[in-house]
Amino acid sequence: MSNVPVLEAVRAAFAFRRRHWRAVAPILGVVAVGSGLGFAGEATGDQALRSVGSIVNFVATIAAYGALFRLAFIDERPDDPELHPGSGGLQWGKPEWRLLGVVGLMFVVGLIAFCAFVLVGVIAFMILLSAGVVQPIAANATPEQIASALTPQAVMVIGFLFGVFAVAMAYLFSRLSLAMAATVSRGQVAVFQTWPLTKGQAWRIFAAVVLSNTPSIAAGILLAAGVSIMGGSAQAPQLALPAAVPLAVIGGLVAAFIQLPINIGLAAFLYRGLRPAGER
């Protein structure tokens, strides 16, 4: 494809989910449990529950990604045992280990980008300090003291830097968004090798990602409203476990059975369209 067809890509992602989610329902169920436990732990302030949920969710999500990407590309190599998912998507083989490697590399990329942002922020702060735009801040200063030391000009500069960082991260990860699909399709870890494929397509890909994530966005708004109605807040929910359970169930089901397969379908569609014509 010369340019990413945003709406067609979103439709293809939703169609992929409709075709394949039942085949991997068991592993998606495990993802839902992990996601729900994590949400319940966060909503109740139970860090142990949150940690257990995060671990279960992470491992199950890698397995689910592997299963769905196998289904997305099995038509290209039907005789390759690597592309045959286990019963219900319950498998762990070379594709899953490679996907784990992709996650690790993407984490390193994000960490480097964050460190660069912090460095730029420190330099900007020193310039503002030398110009008298901000006052010296003690190491043990409270948030109120820090806020009082910032002038409107400083707040504007900080907001601008955060905006630039957000745009840069959206661009960076849009350019690398085909890494997982390429890794399963090619049978080898492929992160930076996908960079040329997304040249000139970053913002179209970003638009497709945002549109395809409308289910999780809507669910997030509803869950935040539910937490607020039950007496919690985004900063410190502190709900009782019985109140958190139904919200956790809803969040887990949406994340696992709706959003996850849509995300895989979108990535597979984009990779098939943007890779070189002779590559399979």
pLDDT tens-digit series, residues 186-230: 999 998 999 999 999 999 999 999 999 999 999 888 887 877 777
Distance CA 66, CA 60 (A): 10
Q: Is residue 280 part of a domain?
A: no
> The domain containing residue 23 runs over which residues?
6-274
Contacting residues for 61 by C-beta, under 8 A, at least 6 apart: 31, 34, 260
* Domain presence at residue 1: no
Residue 87 has pLDDT above 60, yes or no: yes
Q: What rounded mean pLDDT belongs to the chain?
A: 87
Q: Is residue 208 part of a domain?
A: yes
Report the share of the chain in percent with pLDDT over 70.
87
Structural domain count, the chain? 1
Give which of 265, 235, 231 is closest to 10, Cα–Cα: 265
What is the pLDDT averaged over residues 156-173? 87
> 35 in a domain, yes or no?
yes
